[in-house]
Amino acid sequence: MKYTVDVIKEGYSYVEGNSMKANGTCTLIRGGGINIVVDTLSAWDRDFLVDALGKRSLNSADVNFVVCTHGHSDHVGNLNLFQAATHIVGKCISKHDSYQLDAFEKDEAFCIAEDLYVVPTPGHTLTDVTVFVSTQDFGTVAITGDLFEKAEDLQDPSLWKETAGSENPMLQAKKSSNGVAGFRSHCSWAWSHVPGNRRNEAQALGPSWMTFSICLITWLLKNEAFSTHLAIVQNVASNLGPTVEVLIFSQAPNLEIAEARTVMPQQSSEYKLCFLC
C-alpha cells in the first residue's frame, strides 16, 4: 500500500527575548480509505486546522486515526476535534473511554495498516513515537514529531538539549538497552512542503548538498542511535532531479530493515536530501 503525505502546517522554533516561540508540524496521511492526522498543533490553531482539512475535502469526522508523537501542547492541542478517530498519544492508544492495555508491549511497533507503523522512539520525551509510512512519491517517510529543534542543531546540540528541553539527553543520544532507538527527537521545524526548496535557508546544510550529504552520513554512522531515527527518504520523485537517498530505518521489530546507506548518482553535480519531521 502506498500513501500520500501532506504537510498541513510547518512547525517553527526560535528564541524571542526571554521566551521561545514554537509550534509543531501537522501532517496528513491518506490512502486505502484511511485518513490520519499526525500532531494536532496548539489549541490556538483550531480554526486553521478545521479550515485546512476543509480545503482538502475533509472534516474531523473523516479522520480515522490521530497520532500525537508526544504529549506537548503544540502537538495535542486539538485532539478533541477528532471524536470519531482512534487516538495514539505517545504510547497510549484509546478510543472514547477504551484503552488498549498491550499497546507497544515490549516497545514493539504498532501496525495501523499495511506499510503504516507507529514506533516507540524515546528521547525528547520518554514516550515519543514516530510514524513510518510508505508513500507514493517519497519512498519510506518517517514523521518524527520533534526530531530537530531546527536544522542548526546538527551544529549546536544545545538547541535540542537545553533550549527545547530533553527529559533524558543520554537516551536521546544513545540507543536504549532494549534495541529500540532512543535518541534526539525534538523538532517543531519542518523543511517544506516541497523537498529541497528551502535548502538555502538552512545554515547547517553547508556550502553544497554534496558536502552536507557526506558530512551528515559520516556523522550518522558514528551516532547509530540518532541515525536510526533520522530515516527518511527513498526513491524521491524523479522530477526533483538527481538525488542522494538516505535510508536509515528503525531497528524496532516488524520493520525488518536496520541499515544506513547512501545512494549517490555518478554523473551529477547537484544533490538533494529530503526530510519530513
CATH label of the domain that carries residue 57: 3.60.15.10
Q: 239 falls in which pLDDT band (50, 70, 90)?
A: very low
Q: Which helix (H) or strand (E) holds 4?
A: strand 4-9
Cα–chain center distance at 233: 12
Cα–Cα distances (Å) from 112 to 6, 14, 36, 97, 169, in that order, read 18, 34, 10, 19, 29
Q: 112 falls in which pLDDT band (50, 70, 90)?
A: very high
Residue 205 has a pLDDT of 40
Q: Is residue 100 part of a domain?
A: yes
Q: Is residue 21 part of a domain?
A: yes
Sequence-separated (6 or more) residues with CB below 8 Å from residue 197: none
Q: Is residue 253 part of a domain?
A: no
Please provide the size of the chain in residues: 277
Q: Which three cell numbers stand for residue 11?
A: 512547525
Residue 195 has a pLDDT of 37
- pLDDT tens digits for range 212-232: 444 544 444 454 444 344 433
Residue 188 has a pLDDT of 28
Q: Is residue 240 part of a domain?
A: no
- pLDDT tens digits for range 84-97: 999 999 999 999 99
Q: Is residue 246 part of a domain?
A: no
Q: 54 falls in which pLDDT band (50, 70, 90)?
A: very high
The candidate with the shortest Cα–Cα distance to 49, out of 20, 6, 92, 12, is 6
User: Model pTM greater than 0.75?
Assistant: no
As a whole number of angstroms, the distance between CA 41 and CA 1 comes to 27
* Mean pLDDT on 64-72: 95
Q: 148 falls in which pLDDT band (50, 70, 90)?
A: low
The mean-pLDDT minimum among 67-76, 209-218, 230-239 falls in 230-239
The candidate with the shortest Cα–Cα distance to 130, out of 141, 77, 241, 275, is 141
Residue 156, amino acid = D
Cβ density class 9-27: b for 16+ within 10 Å, e for less:
bbbebeeeeeeeebbbbbb
Q: Judge contact between 98 and 88, C-beta under 8 A.
A: no
For the sheet containing 98-99, what is the strand order?
4-9, 26-31, 34-38, 65-68, 86-89, 92-95, 98-99
Q: DSSP assignment of 229-262, as one string?
A: HH---SS--GGG-S--EEEE---STTS----EEE
Counting the structural domains of the chain, the total is 1
Q: Judge contact between 262 and 217, C-beta under 8 A.
A: yes
Q: Is the per-residue pLDDT at 274 higher than 90?
A: no
Q: Is residue 206 part of a domain?
A: no
Q: Is residue 229 part of a domain?
A: no
Q: Is residue 260 part of a domain?
A: no
As a whole number of angstroms, the distance between CA 192 and CA 219 comes to 23
Range of the domain at 36: 4-193
Q: Which helix (H) or strand (E) holds 142?
A: strand 139-143
Residue 43, amino acid = A
